[in-house]
């Protein structure tokens, strides 16, 4: 048995996911696409053996041909498509962020709780990256004793002109926010954002930013967000524990020694660095849906929790100071 999927929003990552899902794992096919740009949707559908371009995301969710929905449109548009999928009883994979306000995330959580079963998975792909999984195994296995400090960096070569100061947190650091909750198996209790000397490459952007996150058990995590580093895309994470440290290794496949220097390639962007994570993420999602198994991936609750922390960080960025994170009670569906 295969899985017939509809994809809403076929821009950069939407087209990446379509490529992975059509004729992909578990007999998945893309049978419908929809995009704000109807021509783009028609162009993508024309290249797929079984897909139709539908006039809207709402029609795609309602279509009898679609068993499961993938939402890869722009963040502020996620909520109505995710809510419609829950109402239709269809599994929905939604790219991060789940929604761009915590109120919208709460509405999604409430709808899923009312439905009484998990249908939503959020695209926090770090959890599927083999290097991040090895990092978590080392921490969970006690290889470095109790974790005390975490140092993360999220560096982009550049960002598009529409990228705003708030997106450094809501769109970029949100990956580390989820990663830290997952890696350390606990919630974030407070956050403070620091604004160091500005890079001359960032124009009006406040770039870089430094986030200091306090975990519930007192572990402190610092996150550098730099979005104009020019040299490539780099993700770092080092956990410092009572008896040792563990860090993500350099992802370069080869190291070149010549003319008195050592060099390794730096990935150009997230597509290159995290290609394998998207493969694993979508394969596991399809297998879970096809097998009728309970969802283990990042949930609507994880989407809400990340959004609450992101909002607290934005308050700190705008007004300064340490901001406590106040999460609602976690519903039983997500325990």
Question: In angstroms, rounded to a whole number, what is the distance separating the alpha carbons of residues 235 and 84?
Answer: 35
Question: In angstroms, rounded to a whole number, what is the distance separating the alpha carbons of residues 52 and 30?
Answer: 9
User: Shortest CA distance to 224 belongs to which of 252, 195, 244, 204?
Assistant: 195
Q: How far is the CB of 217 from ligand NAP (least distance, A)?
A: 27
Q: Enumerate residues 112-131 that contact ligand NAP by CB under 6 A.
A: 123, 125
Place of tokens 């350099």: 250
The residue from 28, 72, 85, 156 that contacts ligand NAP (CB under 6 A) is 72
Question: Is residue 96 near ligand NAP by the rule CB under 6 A?
Answer: yes
Q: How far is the CB of 208 from ligand NAP (least distance, A)?
A: 19
Question: Is residue 8 near ligand NAP by the rule CB under 6 A?
Answer: yes
Question: In angstroms, rounded to a whole number, what is the distance separating the alpha carbons of residues 213 and 235?
Answer: 17
Question: Is residue 171 near ligand NAP by the rule CB under 6 A?
Answer: yes
Question: Is residue 34 near ligand NAP by the rule CB under 6 A?
Answer: yes
Question: Is residue 297 near ligand NAP by the rule CB under 6 A?
Answer: no
Closer by beta carbon to ligand NAP, 54 or else 215: 54
Which of left, alpha, beta for 218 (phi over 0: left; psi -120 to 50: alpha)? left
Q: How far is the CB of 209 from ligand NAP (least distance, A)?
A: 17
Q: Enumerate residues 264-283 that contact ligand NAP by CB under 6 A.
A: 270, 274
E runs forming strands in the chain: 3-8, 28-34, 52-53, 68-71, 92-95, 120-123, 147-155, 188-194, 209-215, 220-226, 234-241, 245-247, 255-258, 261-264, 322-324
**Are 216 and 324 in contact, with CB atoms under 8 Å apart?**
no
Question: Is residue 37 near ligand NAP by the rule CB under 6 A?
Answer: yes
On the CB side of 270, how many CA atoms lie within 13 Å of its CA? 17
Q: Enumerate residues 196-255 that contact ligand NAP by CB under 6 A.
A: none
Q: Enumerate residues 38-57 that contact ligand NAP by CB under 6 A.
A: 40, 57
* Residues within the interface to ligand NAP (CB under 6 A): 8-14, 34-37, 40, 57, 72-75, 77, 95-96, 123, 125, 171, 270, 274
């Amino acid at each position: 048995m295969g899985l017939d999927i509809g994809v809403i929003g076929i821009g950069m990552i939407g087209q990446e996911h379509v490529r992975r899902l059509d004729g992909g794992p578990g007999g998945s096919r893309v049978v419908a696409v929809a995009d704000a740009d109807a021509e783009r949707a028609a162009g993508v559908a024309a290249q797929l053996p079984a897909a139709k371009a539908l006039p809207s995301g709402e029609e795609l969710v309602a279509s009898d041909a679609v068993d499961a929905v993938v939402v890869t449109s722009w963040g502020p548009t996620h909520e109505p498509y995710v809510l419609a999928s829950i109402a239709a009883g269809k599994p929905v994979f939604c790219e991060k962020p789940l929604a761009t306000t915590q109120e919208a995330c709460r509405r999604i959580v409430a709808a899923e709780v009312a439905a009484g079963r998990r249908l939503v998975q959020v695209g926090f792909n770090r959890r599927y990256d083999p290097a991040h999984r090895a990092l978590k195994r080392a921490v969970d296995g006690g290889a470095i004793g109790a974790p005390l400090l975490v140092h993360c960096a999220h560096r982009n070569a550049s960002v598009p002109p529409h990228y705003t100061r708030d997106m450094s947190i809501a769109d970029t650091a949100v990956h580390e926010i989820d990663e830290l909750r997952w890696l350390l198996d606990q919630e974030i209790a407070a956050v403070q954002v620091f604004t160091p000397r500005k890079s001359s490459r960032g124009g009006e952007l406040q770039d870089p930013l430094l986030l200091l996150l306090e975990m519930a058990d007192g572990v402190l995590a610092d996150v550098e967000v730099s979005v104009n580093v020019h040299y490539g895309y780099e993700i770092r994470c080092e956990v410092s524990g009572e008896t040792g440290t563990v860090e993500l290794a350099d992802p370069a496949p080869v190291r070149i020694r010549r003319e008195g220097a050592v060099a390794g390639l730096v990935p150009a962007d997230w597509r290159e660095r995290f290609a394998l994570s998207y493969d694993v993420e979508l394969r596991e999602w399809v297998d879970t849906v096809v097998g009728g198994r309970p969802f283990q991936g990042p949930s609507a609750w994880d989407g809400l929790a990340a959004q609450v922390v992101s909002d607290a960080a934005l308050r700190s960025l705008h007004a300064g100071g340490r901001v406590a994170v106040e999460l609602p009670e976690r519903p039983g569906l997500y325990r």
